[in-house]
Amino acid sequence: MINENLIIKDWRNIDFSFGLIYPNTYKIGMSSYAIRLLYFLINSYDNIVCERIFLPEKVKYPAHSYITPQSQIRSIENRVLLDHFDILGFSLQFENDFKNVLWILENSLIPISSQARVINREDNGEKYPLIIAGGPVSTSNPLPFSQFFDLMFIGDCEPNLNLFFKIFENYKHKK
């Protein structure tokens, strides 16, 4: 188990949770400065918990179309399933990782398309995390990915995090 540089927060004392996803393995993801910076910045808010999520180590790259109890996707810090987060934020650094985004959503039993999630929320009362993305891939050409994400950050998200979190907190409280 990876246990370095963890920030553990009590989920009972937060307003909402953020699953920070790098759609590849831990070793590749933690070489990204963006993941380390975002993890620190988001966890600097007392009322928000941010936990990191990567592809399970035993899943071969590119991700296969199977899921087993051993490869079930959970956060590193508290082993939380993805559908228990309020927000899932994907860091899209490379186009080749995009198929892993779809695999992660599918194997977490979260509908892949944004439209399917909206329909399931409205018709069946299903609850899904807000699915967002950022990074060089979404900045260079967001249109091909827009049907999969509820929101995409274009450019650096750091200057807009505070505003985004305030808007999301208002949205969550109004249900």
Check which CATH number belongs to the domain holding 41 and give it. Answer: 3.40.50
In a domain, 96, yes or no: yes
User: Does a structural domain hold residue 85?
Assistant: yes
**Taking residues 29-58, what's their average pLDDT?**
93
Task: Indicate if the pLDDT at residue 132 is higher than 90.
Answer: yes
Q: How confident is the model at residue 1 (pLDDT cuts 50, 70, 90)?
A: very low
The DSSP call for residue 53 is E
60 has pLDDT over 70 = no
Residue 114 has pLDDT above 90, yes or no: yes
Q: Give the mean pLDDT of the chain.
A: 88
How many independent structural domains does the chain possess? 1
In a domain, 79, yes or no: yes
Q: Mean pLDDT over residues 11-28, rounded?
A: 94
pLDDT in tens, 74-87: 999 999 999 999 99
pLDDT at 169: 93
- How many Å apart are CA 119 and CA 90, to the nearest integer? 22
Residue 69 has pLDDT above 80, yes or no: no
- Chain mean position to CA 155: 17
Tell me what the mean pLDDT of segment 131-157 comes to.
Answer: 89
Q: Quote the CA–CA distance of 61 and 88 in Å, as a whole number.
A: 21
130-134 β-sheet, strand order: 48-53, 16-21, 87-91, 130-134, 151-152
In a domain, 2, yes or no: no
Instruction: Classify residue 37: in a domain, yes or no.
Output: yes
Domain containing 42 equals: 13-174
Nearest to 52 by CA among 109, 122, 5, 111: 5
- Whether 141 contacts 98, CB under 8 Å: no
pTM of the model: 0.90
Does a structural domain hold residue 65?
Answer: yes
- Residue 77 domain-assigned (yes or no): yes
In a domain, 140, yes or no: yes
